[in-house]
Amino acid sequence: MLHPQARALIDLMAARGVPPTHTLPPAEARRVYRERRAFTQPEPPAIERVEELSAAGPHGTIALRLYAPGSDVGGLPVLVYFHGGGWVIGDLDTHDTLCRQLAIGAGCAVVAVDYRMAPEHRFPAAVDDCLAATRWLRQAAGHFGLDATRMAVGGDSAGGNLAAVVAIAERDAGAPPLRLQLLIYPATDQRRGAPSHAANGQGYVLTAETMDYFHDHYIADPAHDLDWRASPLLHEDLSGLPPAFVLTAGYDPLRDEGLQYAQRLSEAGTRATLVNFERQIHGFILMGKALDEANTAVALCAAELRRAFT
């Protein structure tokens, strides 16, 4: 049962002739995605501190944006956030409202990462940037009034993929443990063979064609589908990872990839909580102006962050 608000939004998009992402060249798809947010996203809430930062990356400077709801003498906990958009679209502005909401709701800082995009920069460019930004922030945290001992990673869709990969890479590197991995309808398996891809591949905004569009722009070599840095579900060892909060949507092609990843984490002894918004579509957490359940999802994520940092 699709939520009536989600059904109304899908019908409105069709009536207005919103072009499917896969029909647009990447530059145009980015513009449309950026402009579309005004129709579905709430107004960005005021927050005490917003700073533009930059980190040194392996292939040049990485832009970051810091959000903080005030200051803390002992240092604020911090979520490193990777935006969604299929590794092709999305930026700091498309996820500005969500980052503000999470910072305010969780009482933490959020540092959003503007990683390099495909097809200009294919896999593993985004992974390299996200990992470099996380490690840079860990070293520089004190300078910005942040507590490097209370760090989490998170992201939605492609960003959830990147957060999961960063969590694995940091564990393997012997880095201090992260407090949480916040995985919002994450892509975890580039093979795209889970049942939900067939069940939800048409009619719910994110279609099978758009999934292929994102994949083919990001992945140059089909062999990379089996690389855990592209498909974290395929990593042979998911033990010893940070606790995970995995949020999925019932009418999302990626629904089962989130379910499968949460299950594999739990089977490996990593604490994982899965919450499925059965009546929602992919991308819904950004749509609080049109979908009431989006605001509930944001509040749940913020509560999980607050609990992990306490």
The pLDDT, as a whole number, for residue 70 is 81
Q: How confident is residue 154, by pLDDT bands cut at 50, 70 and 90?
A: very high
The pLDDT, as a whole number, for residue 51 is 96
Q: Coil, strand, or helix at residue 206?
A: coil
The pLDDT, as a whole number, for residue 73 is 57
The tens digit of pLDDT for each residue in 244-291 reads 999 999 999 999 999 999 999 999 999 999 999 999 999 999 999 999
User: Lowest mean pLDDT: which of 14-28, 61-75, 153-167, 288-302?
Assistant: 61-75
Residue 194 has pLDDT above 90, yes or no: yes
Instruction: Tell me which of 38 and 186 has the higher pLDDT.
Output: 186
Which range of residues forms the domain containing residue 52?
Answer: 4-309
Annotated catalytic residue 196:
no
254's CB contacts (< 8 A; 6+ apart) are 157, 185, 186, 187, 196, 206, 248, 282
Tally of structural domains, the chain: 1
Residue 235 has pLDDT above 70, yes or no: yes
CATH number of the domain to which 293 belongs: 3.40.50.1820
The tens digit of pLDDT for each residue in 70-109 reads 866 579 999 999 999 999 999 999 999 999 999 999 999 9
Cβ pair 129, 62 in contact under 8 A: yes
91, 114, 189, 252: the active-site residue = 252
The pLDDT, as a whole number, for residue 125 is 98
Annotated catalytic residue 239:
no
d(CA 285, CA 292): 10
83, 129, 157, 197: the active-site residue = 157
